[in-house]
Amino acid sequence: MMKPDEEAVFATLTGAEDTLSPQESRNGLRHVAALSMTKLSDGLLNPKLVLTWLAQALGAPAVLIGLLVPIREAGALLPQLLLARRIEAMRRRKWAWVAGSLGQGAAAAGMVVVALTLDGLAAGVALCLLLALLALARSAASVSYKDVLGKTVAKTRRGTVTGTAGSLSATGVILFALLLMSGLLQDVAPVTVAVAIAAGLWICAGLLFATLEEPESTPAPATALIDLSPLREDAQFRRFVLARGALTATALAPPHIVMLDDSGGALQALGALVLASAAASFASSYVWGRMADRSSRRVLVLSGLCGGIAMALAAAAGMFGLAATPWVAPVILFILMVAYHGVREGRSTYLVDMAPETARARYAALANTLIGGLLLLTGAFGGALAAFGPVAALAGFAALSLVGALLALRLDEVERG
């Protein structure tokens, strides 16, 4: 039975006391708890930072280490079109998210075994295979989540749910980052413990999500294996994909900011990078989420502008030799990560609120698959510019982010009416 204090907590979070039902309050808090655990797991097992460091420490070949991030990004996005059809045939789609969370936990647990028993080439191959499994499981969770969120939490409260989870999980990631920076976690064993904690959190999140009170859905009619109809028939969806594709610049730019400073300062350390991302998430995710409940379109515009300005400042700092100044690069990186989290909150909330109720999984899958392709193109664009140095890459990304903000201006307001 719902406890009054629990209902009050969700009402306080969302600011919607008069329109909440007990069932929505129960579901909302379960969403926050489960999502907080998975986001914390993401921070503890960050392929760009933590997993790369672990692979290096185990002596994996450089070519395999270089495959980690592409495996993670492509594996999480590209299979979604194929998964959407199966998920839309389910009456209760929470089970796809549960399976995805448990699958990520199992993959992370396998990585712990690898860290304890293997090294060299064997460790590198095993980590790549397990990361591919983790990415596939994450893909299933991503496809199903927006649909389940839309069915169990009302339109004007969804951004708050995801934003609150982002801020709560960031607290744990900040602690992890501080431990990394302190020098206490500079060996394989304690980092392996962090990966084990991530595995346990994914499993706990899956078990908690299984208790969600999801209304039964009518299975969607059979469609083509790859359904491109939303892209053909929905102009609003096409504009959203283009805007979101341009805003991927906020995700790709941080390494180029790090490369501006070749003095070997603290910003290049693993802990400092994790801390910058976590602190930005803690400071901004809840705020972005509340704003997205009022206008996710406005969040996309503002975060695109913020990211563009941050990257332009970074390029200017590189041009004028200011990047090595101790406070310049960290401040710019923090601002950029705030923008990045705004893009994440805005695009997630916008897609859930825009998509037809009966086709949310299909819309999410198609959008994510298309963005996976655009992400590769954006990365290639940045890589080509990087041949002329990080300043050129950052200038190009800044322009792309501003284009994304302008494209978002043309989107309709979907939180009204």
Domain tally for the chain?
A: 1
351 within 8 A of 247, measured Cβ to Cβ: no
The predicted-structure confidence for 205-243, as pLDDT tens digits, reads as follows: 999 999 988 888 777 665 555 667 788 888 889 999 999
- Per-residue confidence (pLDDT) for residue 384, from 0 to 100: 80
When pLDDT is averaged across residues 343-364 and rounded to a whole number, the result is 84
- Whether 359 maps to a domain, the answer reads yes
Residue 323 has pLDDT above 80, yes or no: no
pLDDT at residue 77 is higher than 60:
yes
Vertex 365 angle, CA 252 and 335, to 5°: 25
**Low-confidence winner among 1-5, 23-27, 185-189 (lowest mean pLDDT):** 1-5
Establish if 49 belongs to a structural domain. Answer: yes
Percentage with pLDDT > 90 across the chain? 32
pLDDT in tens, 142-181: 888 888 888 888 877 887 888 888 888 888 888 888 887 7
State the residue range of the domain holding 75: 21-409
Position 7 in a domain: no
Residue 150: inside a domain: yes
324 within a domain of the structure (yes/no): yes
Distance CA 325, CA 327 (A): 6
Cα(403)–Cα(311) distance, integer angstroms: 13
Mean pLDDT for 29-52 is 88
- Whether this model's pTM surpasses 0.75: no
Q: What is the mean pLDDT of the chain?
A: 84
Distance CA 47, CA 65 (A): 10
CB 244 within 8 A of CB 404: yes
In a domain, 14, yes or no: no
- Residue 319 phi/psi, 5° resolution? -65, -40
- Mean pLDDT, to the nearest integer, of 267-285? 72
On the question of pLDDT at 2 being above 50, the answer is no
Task: Please report, rounded to a whole number, the percentage of residues in the chain having pLDDT higher than 70.
Answer: 91
246: nearest Cα among 291, 307, 201, 168: 307
| 140 falls within a domain | yes
Look up the CATH number of the domain holding residue 242: 1.20.1250.20
- Given pLDDT bands bounded at 50, 70 and 90, which one contains residue 262? low
Contact call for residues 401 and 307 (beta carbons, < 8 A):
yes
**Higher-scoring residue by pLDDT: 21, 58:** 58
417 within a domain of the structure (yes/no)? no
